[in-house]
Structure 1
């Protein structure tokens, strides 16, 4: 694709990046075959190729309209198109550049601005989000259905392991996960403890930056990234083996820190080291397969439906690790026919684009139910909460299932 950048973006970091990505696109349209919003709406501008054209026009100086912003907003950023693309177009990075500049040129309606500001302020800050979530859980039966869908039933927290080990790994506890589903983090620590690994949580680490990044608050998102690097760095210097991610959305974002901070001389080097250390659970546990088999036992669960989050299979390009571990533990792991497609959660998408989000959720639930599972497992807090709101089949994180199977329990 030929480009002729406008003066406002020529010779800038965003301009150079957008130009390089756009020139890789050969208009083949393979991406439309795996785009959830194109499937639903049938509009070329609601598929990756159409959005690429909109961004090309934008960086070449064409007027940016509210319609442009709407089509970019409807993108889930699931990055399924990246997995499909034969030319290696990094669409996820391109759409973030497009959104950033569209936000600067188009004034949103007041209601949209207010909603996005509230989300970008409350969700990443545990001190604000936790009391709101606790209150929501206390009055959950009284809430309207759409709001109740966002408030999972309160978990009774498991005990955090206290044994010290020579092997140590950091874990990002996240911003919403400790309040919504605290046992995901605790189960992670308990499983690693059973494998002889101590889990450390840096008290000053917080949101990975994904919420603010995808809502267009790029500078705030970069501050989130810097704060996490600062919080983790003393432990990195002490020699921790890895930074464990049990929320694939966070993992996909942290693995982008080197890219996001590439132009920050004070943080670019440290960001690269953080990326080198960052590992999803599905990258870590397959190496402990024999130990896990010896440490677990069957507890009534046989058939499991696995929903791989987009941030795991497309964002991080990780496939097969979860299935390998669960299969080794004697479970029948089944994937739906549309396992490559998004469930509609996509961070705040279920709040900002509820009609599309719930349609995708309902389609995904039907595919999962067709597998006749006893349990649905996933690897991202957003997917788990979103799917659970649409079915009576229990939905949980796969590491909680592994923890449940520990023989010591």
Structure 2
């Protein structure tokens, strides 16, 4: 079999077989297919697409490129959650202890931030002493004892995805549905959970800018999950503006703590309750979504999720006192304010520009090897639909480097669009997809 022939086959819109896809992934992982040829194949897939069988074979080949984690020693149904990425998305930090407090074990592997979207692991590392690189046995033991643990993935978890993602990142093939599905689902399936809840974001701060594309992505990921015997739900959410008010690592941890204290921004709290309710339903801790949501509301009110987060932080070497006193988290030396230049209503807050502003301050990475500053970031003072007067605060900027500030401020100001009329509010939760079909909330 020659890989050259497979490139031609896909370029011409033909279907690749299971044997051909297995050959492609195995040979590429063993460095017998050069990057220039794989780049051509990725571009052929980008333009010609793949059918559900091809996506299934590609996902399976990527899962089997490394180890599959065995979580069977942890009692109960293990439910994983994944977000396709957003700005200010702190849900995992609040969700893991919320769901664990309801008796559903959460054994979660999360990533670092890249580009304008933040990463859960970076956020957790702003808690002094918190260890995200744990051996598998320790990880499993913490989940058994505490009910939740969040770590960075091991190097042998779907290694084919790491190689392919790095290549997609530099060849303009990131936003291809077959490649996104196989990337996300290979990692989720290799991570060993029994059920998966996916937060598929759409809007200016997401990979899928259009709702119809997010819906298509969500449906295919549910189909792939079910094909592999995993109960899967996709929730389509609006990332047209940042989630919550905080953007930046330590600032987002503070906001997650507020949610666990039954406070915090309404949109962030609501998304945690929605995703968590589906996790409880799939995990057998609730008969349906409505019951799951009520349970989580009670858990937040009683403070058991807050206590569970402290327990998880302590188990992973972090200082639990920080959770009681979030002012101990790192905070940048300087703060400046961005003010409105006209009076009106906030029509739009561009999530991508906000995320890029935070990245310019040092909160995110332009490249994988970039160092980040855990203490910098942005606090929004307004949301879409808010009334604003001239010279009123739109945002606070926390910074350490005044050289980085100027460009970040300009970008931040351009992310706010102010107009005369109050805009129609787009709901946060747009749809939910399960084996029963699509339920739209728009």
| TM-score normalized by the length of structure 1 | 0.28
Q: Which has the higher strand share?
A: 2
